[in-house]
Amino acid sequence: MKHVIGARCTICGHLTEALPGTTVCPDCGGILDIEYDYDYIRSKLTKYDLMDRTDRTMWRYMEFLPVEGRGERPRLRVGGSPLYEADRLGKMLGIKKLYIKDDGQNPTASLKDRASAMAVVKAEEAGKTTIACSSTGNAASSLAGNAACAGLSTFIFVPSRAPKGKVAQLMMFGATVVLVEGSYEDTFRISAEAIERWGWYNRNAAINPYLMEGKKTVSLEIAEQLGFIMPDYVAVSVGDGCTIGGVWKGFKDLYAAGFINKLPRIISVQASGCCPINTAAAAGTMDWVPQEENTLADSIAVGVPRNPVKALKAIQESNGVTVNVSDEEIMEAMRLLGRNAGVFAEPAGAAGTAGIKKAVESGLIEKDATVVSIVTGNGLKDVTNAIRAAGEPMSIAPDMDRLLAAFDERGIRP
Amino acid sequence: MKHVIGARCTICGHLTEALPGTTVCPDCGGILDIEYDYDYIRSKLTKYDLMDRTDRTMWRYMEFLPVEGRGERPRLRVGGSPLYEADRLGKMLGIKKLYIKDDGQNPTASLKDRASAMAVVKAEEAGKTTIACSSTGNAASSLAGNAACAGLSTFIFVPSRAPKGKVAQLMMFGATVVLVEGSYEDTFRISAEAIERWGWYNRNAAINPYLMEGKKTVSLEIAEQLGFIMPDYVAVSVGDGCTIGGVWKGFKDLYAAGFINKLPRIISVQASGCCPINTAAAAGTMDWVPQEENTLADSIAVGVPRNPVKALKAIQESNGVTVNVSDEEIMEAMRLLGRNAGVFAEPAGAAGTAGIKKAVESGLIEKDATVVSIVTGNGLKDVTNAIRAAGEPMSIAPDMDRLLAAFDERGIRP
């Protein structure tokens, strides 16, 4: 791969060759970051070349991805998710311009499809036919779906608290699913042991440096959809730290290759009940402290983040903003997104929008700001919490007088 | 609209003007069908023009739609769903070539978004700001979502037995949801009374002729995605008859305008426990008889179809094939789609694929056939039945010995 220089350790700075099976730093065990030759990329691809491409998936950005091609196996249509102008909602939040990047519109209904599609290609390059991961849910279902399409096997470890919709997806995609009775930390540990034991391809986002390269395509798309005119802020919910890391990497890549001339500030949103990364970032330290996992937003309920370095660097380097939101604020954002933008988000998917609201209210960001909110997953993944957030409908006997009374009681004037 | 001739009654043949608020035939109350000037369309649009369009939504086919424009309001990204080459699954089903049109990849996760997006535009043209319907399923949630994005209000009447998840989706999109304590007939009656009383725009697929025009875009896309080289068959599940009618209308429009030179045969798939349309079609009569609603595929559990005329005509005119499938066969198709194509379908969404399998096995269609299966809705819509079809995962304490024992017990050899 002429455009890839190698994989550099985020801890010790050691540069290693980027092989298909590369995981952590061979020297210190640190998480690696794929490094590109931006001059080479610039010589091969321009903004105008992109305009001529008919491929609307994440693979349209091949020159920015650590692969030679996407292989021969069948692929799901990952990426190319809509970026909506949400003027009504933006006004309600009190900002100048709001865009919603609805990544719940991916094949298995979350942003994680971008990472899993990449994992499947790299597993094939590594000659593996079985892929494994531990996940709070979305990474798992996206891996299972993308691997099923390509004809690969999967072993998936999820905490037993994972929402039913996500588990149903896994089973339907034919994954071998292991529910682990414990925390995400317990789940991660047993999966690591099993991966080591059986030599499966490892799709654990914090260990496999390629996954973030898939995730970053969400930023490449946002930039292209905005005509490469950057917003002031991009808000994203944060759990493990891999997604925020990928989002930031995408913008940095575009900047380094001369596709954009301004970098957005990242709004890092965590749940108040589980915010180890934001707590460390706010204190200006890389030394994060584990926390309990007290939030209904299961996808970001990560008390022991696996990728704190890239997450903290993303906040630091982007001169970012940290916001912690309560479950109530998340549920309110779910309603705001549904009612004003027609976007049905899972709790973690709505957290970014909740964070924007809070950041404006507390004066952390300016009222004349342009902001992109990334919705990371679809609300159909977690119907139980959707019901909790959306409330109960009225119920009447089939009679016009009853209907009139029910409307009257609720102040509804049709 | 220069390209629209009018709305012709499917019963008495009377031609009436196609106004935004047009519903049934003013003469006999029959269902109307929008009629186009194909010579005019042909003079305005070619296959090559389409290649230059960057809009990937259903609105890229504006010349084939009964609208002047899509209005000024914000829109969800409806249409442009992927068409997958499913070679592995095709081989398993015993046919030469299988394509999966995954319409579960629409904003509210079903094909019904195509109809609801159209309803919202027509409601605006009619000067209405409130749309209503009585439905428990995908039509309701797609209406609520598309209307919410456009800033219109919705009143949705559902029987109180409606599944909680679907009600939650409606509530999240801000619909005014009225649970009616009674049968579906009761629900329909009170909604009709309310629509009449308050003059809301009526989104009822069998009454409103424009909705089928939205649905037909799935066929326009299939044709374009196949380079206008038609498959031998297109399989679709059938409930009230509106979707199969729309699918057939799309192909007929393309044929009439000279975009394709062959029409596919339609495979009409119903559930064995509820198949009034297929029963009538197989008997060669238009006189269908109501049936019980005995199937887990709720979206096609329609014992009294509201659009039998267009459905039966689609089967008849296309020299179609009728297949009825059991719930077991539907669940098997769900697993086949998930495990071999990475597509997670709701029961009614998988019924088309179940029908193809059965049609091949019983010699109704040839082994060297090319077939497109339309997946009409996402499996996340109906997690209960997904779990029923896919089974429950193993659950263990976070310990390697427990994992080994669990694998051993299930005969899993990693």
Alpha carbon B226 to chain centroid, angstroms: 20
Contact A123, A149 (CB under 8 A): no
Task: Report the SS3 class of residue A407.
Answer: helix
Residue of A nearest to B151 (CA): A340
In this complex, the residue of A197, A340, A397 whose CB is nearest that of residue B181 is: A397
- Angstroms from B283 CA to nearest CA on chain A: 37
CA atoms of B299 and B136, how far apart (whole Å): 9
Residue with tokens 């550099």: A8
CA atoms of B97 and B196, how far apart (whole Å): 49
Residue of B nearest to A197 (CA): B414
Contacts of A200 in chain B (CB under 8 A): 414
Domains identified in chain A and CATH numbers? 83-108+211-390 (3.40.50.1100)
A306 band by pLDDT with thresholds 50, 70 and 90: confident
In this complex, the residue of A77, A168, A387 whose CB is nearest that of residue B386 is: A168
Contact A331, A339 (CB under 8 A): no
Greater confidence (A195 vs A392) lies with A195
CA atoms of A150 and A66, how far apart (whole Å): 19
Angle between helices A113-125 and A242-256 (to 10 degrees): 80
Contacts of A343 in chain B (CB under 8 A): 107, 149
Burial status of residue A7 (CB atoms within 10 A of its CB: 0-12, 13-18, 19 or more): buried
Alpha carbon A85 to chain centroid, angstroms: 20
Alpha carbon B201 to chain centroid, angstroms: 21
Task: Report the SS3 class of residue B270.
Answer: strand
> What are A228-250's pLDDT values in tens digits?
999 999 999 999 999 999 999 99
In this complex, the residue of B200, B378, B393 whose CB is nearest that of residue A178 is: B393
Average pLDDT score, chain A:
95
CA angle centred on B301, ends B299 and B305, rounded to 5°: 100
Half-sphere CA count of B112, side-chain side, radius 13 A? 29
> What are B320-361's pLDDT values in tens digits?
999 999 999 999 999 999 999 999 999 999 999 999 999 999
CA atoms of B190 and B180, how far apart (whole Å): 8
Number of other residues whose CB lies within 10 A of the CB of residue A162? 27
Task: Report the SS3 class of residue B322.
Answer: strand
Does residue A206 have a pLDDT over 80? no
pTM higher than 0.90, yes or no? yes
Residue with tokens 């799709």: A203
pLDDT given at position B137: 84
Interface contact A164-B383, CB threshold 8 A: yes
| For testing contact with chain A, the best of B108, B158, B171, B412 (most A CBs within 10 A) | B171
B354: Cβ contacts below 8 Å, ≥ 6 apart? B269, B325, B329, B330, B332, B333
Interface contact B82-A77, CB threshold 8 A: yes
Contacts of A168 in chain B (CB under 8 A): 379-380, 383, 386-387, 390
Residue of A nearest to B87 (CA): A74
Residue of A nearest to B154 (CA): A414
Number of other residues whose CB lies within 10 A of the CB of residue B289? 11
- Angstroms from A321 CA to nearest CA on chain B: 28
Does residue B159 have a pLDDT over 80? yes
Q: Which two tokens stand for residue A354?
A: 């909740």
In this complex, the residue of A88, A176, A391 whose CB is nearest that of residue B171 is: A391
CA atoms of A413 and B243, how far apart (whole Å): 34
Instruction: Report the pLDDT averaged over residues A124-136.
Output: 92
In this complex, the residue of A168, A189, A342 whose CB is nearest that of residue B398 is: A189
Query: Which sign, positive or negative, has the C-alpha torsion A374, A376, A381, A382?
Result: negative
> What are B352-366's pLDDT values in tens digits?
999 999 999 999 999
Half-sphere CA count of A266, side-chain side, radius 13 A? 29
Task: Report the SS3 class of residue A372.
Answer: strand
**Between A and B, how many residue pairs show a Cβ–Cβ distance under 8 A?**
246
Greater confidence (B169 vs B213) lies with B213
Contacts of B340 in chain A (CB under 8 A): 148, 151
| For testing contact with chain A, the best of B331, B383, B385 (most A CBs within 10 A) | B383
| For testing contact with chain B, the best of A72, A344, A378, A412 (most B CBs within 10 A) | A344
Q: Which two tokens stand for residue A147?
A: 């691997």
Instruction: Report the pLDDT averaged over residues A32-61.
Output: 96
Burial status of residue B17 (CB atoms within 10 A of its CB: 0-12, 13-18, 19 or more): exposed
φ, ψ for residue B267 (rounded to 5)?
-95, 110
In this complex, the residue of B160, B178, B381 whose CB is nearest that of residue A403 is: B178
Contacts of B84 in chain A (CB under 8 A): 74, 76-77, 149
Separation in Å, CA A219 to CA A5, A104, A281, B8, B61: 21, 15, 22, 49, 29
CA-based Rg of chain A, rounded to a whole angstrom? Answer: 21
> What are A361-376's pLDDT values in tens digits?
999 999 999 999 999 9
**Which is nearest to A25 in space by CA: A40, A13, A43?**
A13
Interface contact A394-B177, CB threshold 8 A: yes
Amino acid at B133: C
Contacts of A350 in chain B (CB under 8 A): none
Query: Picking from A288-297, B42-51, B127-136, which range would have the lowest pLDDT averaged per residue?
Result: B127-136
**Which is nearest to B261 in space by CA: B232, B234, B231, B229?**
B229
> What are B257-282's pLDDT values in tens digits?
999 999 999 999 999 999 999 999 99
Does residue B91 have a pLDDT over 80? yes
Greater confidence (B204 vs B397) lies with B397
Contacts of B189 in chain A (CB under 8 A): 398
DSSP-assigned letter for residue A330: H
**Which is nearest to A110 in space by CA: A141, A133, A131?**
A141
CA atoms of B24 and A278, how far apart (whole Å): 59
Contacts of A186 in chain B (CB under 8 A): 398
Interface contact B394-A160, CB threshold 8 A: no
Query: Which sign, positive or negative, has the C-alpha torsion A50, B222, B23, B156?
Result: negative
Alpha carbon A125 to chain centroid, angstroms: 24
Contacts of A113 in chain B (CB under 8 A): none
| For testing contact with chain A, the best of B53, B108, B173 (most A CBs within 10 A) | B173
Does residue A338 have a pLDDT over 80? yes
